[in-house]
Amino acid sequence: MTDYKALEHEYGLDLYPKRDLVAVRGEGAILYDESDNQYIDCAAGIGVASLGHSHPKLVEAIQQQAARLITCPNILYNDVRSKLLEKLVEVTPLSLTQAYLCNSGTEANEAALKFARLHTGRPNFVTAMRGFHGRTMGSVSATFTKKYREAFEPLVPGFDYVPLNKIEKLEAVVNDKTAAVMLELVQGEGGVNLIQADYIAAARELCNERGALLIIDEIQTGFCRTGKFFACEYFDLQPDIMTIAKSMGGGVPIGATMLSADFEVGPGLHGTTFGGNPLACAAALAAIDVFQNDDLAKRAAELGDYFETQLKAEDLSQVRVVRRLGLMIGIELKQKAQEKLTHLLDNKIVALPAGANVIRMLPPLIIEKEQIDRVVAVLRACLA
């Protein structure tokens, strides 16, 4: 049998902390390795495969569109793209009435930063400590964690970082040079940290008062993950810009920057070759259809509750606290998470870290209760 691991190590750039699993096939919440061993996938492509792997409706839409039209430049109109644009405006908060389509989360954030400077004529941004917004030069400048930034300096100037949920800190830095405040409503990579309702309401007000835009990064929280279609709905929040990606296409790369009505960006100022391609748009339309018709927001809320109740973390001696919104679950340990993640994988469960001592679970929203029971049993055994 071909040694796929050796090939990746030999020819791939060594960027990722690899797990000992060659995933070759997926179905629902299950991943299969070369020998057909089954793993429960609580990483889901890092919050991407919310519909599970190879959802039949998604597969059908991609197959049909692949046979019809895969690429179409944005200088031409396209049937599928036009329908997706309309759909995105329908499902996102009311304040957002226009969309820019791209291919990934970081591109959605790059566009958000550019459009914010363009619209306000102001240079600066404020983001949150422990926030994560992506790896390209603008997005990584918006990202707090030094490890991601330092080696690549000089970065885009004009970024300030403030601690989350401390409104006085935000008040101290937002001024007439601030183009935008950019926040996640639940910090994903940074440890599954939940924003407080009074904080985000005050931040919205502060931005209005001082003429700064509010950018909400829903790249990880979006599309039913937190128990609402978008986490904004928990706070009745109307952002000026919202960025989305990850589970938007059910696994097919696609992202978008959603904007309020008053943005005007003239032709030629920004763009993308692949963004808005019919193949990815067809996948996103099919995925959104399933999110809506199967009410996966409700399912994420219920299964998240179930997961936490079954876990009963209070009696687990190695757990400090569980933070959770829907099926976005962070289990903060009193020790490093890595050893536990290895133990989980040995027990055929794929999970994620979020910082050094948080186990993060982002299972497909279609995961079955019995599969959660299995995950919880292994977690309880290794965290008692």
Query: What are the residues binding ligand PLP (CB under 6 A)?
Result: 104-106, 109, 132-134, 184, 188-189, 217, 219-220, 245-246
SS3 293: helix
Considering the complex, what minimum distance in angstroms separates the CB of residue 121 from ligand PLP? 25
- In this structure, the chain runs to a length of 384
Other CB atoms within 10 A of residue 219 CB: 28
**Residue 106 vs 120, nearer CB to ligand PLP:** 106
Cα–Cα distance for residue pair 40/17, rounded to 1 Å: 19
Name the token pair of 302. 């219920």
**Residue 30 vs 195, nearer CB to ligand PLP:** 195
Cα–Cα distance for residue pair 374/113, rounded to 1 Å: 42
Considering the complex, what minimum distance in angstroms separates the CB of residue 118 from ligand PLP? 21
Contacts of 127 (CB under 8 A, 6+ apart): 133, 142, 143, 144, 159, 160, 161, 162, 181, 182, 183
**Residue 135 vs 177, nearer CB to ligand PLP:** 135
Torsion sign (Cα): 214, 220, 223, 225: negative
SS3 137: helix
Cα–Cα distance for residue pair 89/17, rounded to 1 Å: 37
**Residue 107 vs 240, nearer CB to ligand PLP:** 107
Residue written as token pair 């219920």: 302
Bridging pattern class, strands 349-350 and 38-41: parallel
**Residue 30 vs 142, nearer CB to ligand PLP:** 142
* DSSP states of 349-379: EE-EESSSSEEEE---TT--HHHHHHHHHHH
Considering the complex, what minimum distance in angstroms separates the CB of residue 8 from ligand PLP? 19
Torsion angle of C-alpha atoms 132, 119, 96, 189, degrees rounded to 10: 0
* DSSP states of 61-82: HHHHHHHH-S---TTS--HHHH
Position with the least CB separation from ligand PLP: 105
Considering the complex, what minimum distance in angstroms separates the CB of residue 258 from ligand PLP? 14
Considering the complex, what minimum distance in angstroms separates the CB of residue 104 from ligand PLP? 4
**Residue 231 vs 319, nearer CB to ligand PLP:** 231
**Residue 117 vs 246, nearer CB to ligand PLP:** 246
Considering the complex, what minimum distance in angstroms separates the CB of residue 50 from ligand PLP? 13
Considering the complex, what minimum distance in angstroms separates the CB of residue 116 from ligand PLP? 16
Considering the complex, what minimum distance in angstroms separates the CB of residue 105 from ligand PLP? 2
Considering the complex, what minimum distance in angstroms separates the CB of residue 109 from ligand PLP? 6
**Residue 287 vs 378, nearer CB to ligand PLP:** 287
**Residue 271 vs 310, nearer CB to ligand PLP:** 271
Instruction: Pick the closest to residue 304 from 361, 234, 245 (CA basis).
Output: 361
Cα–Cα distance for residue pair 123/339, rounded to 1 Å: 43
Cis peptide before 154 (omega within 30 of 0): yes
Phi-psi region of 121 (alpha: psi -120 to 50; beta: other; left: phi over 0): left
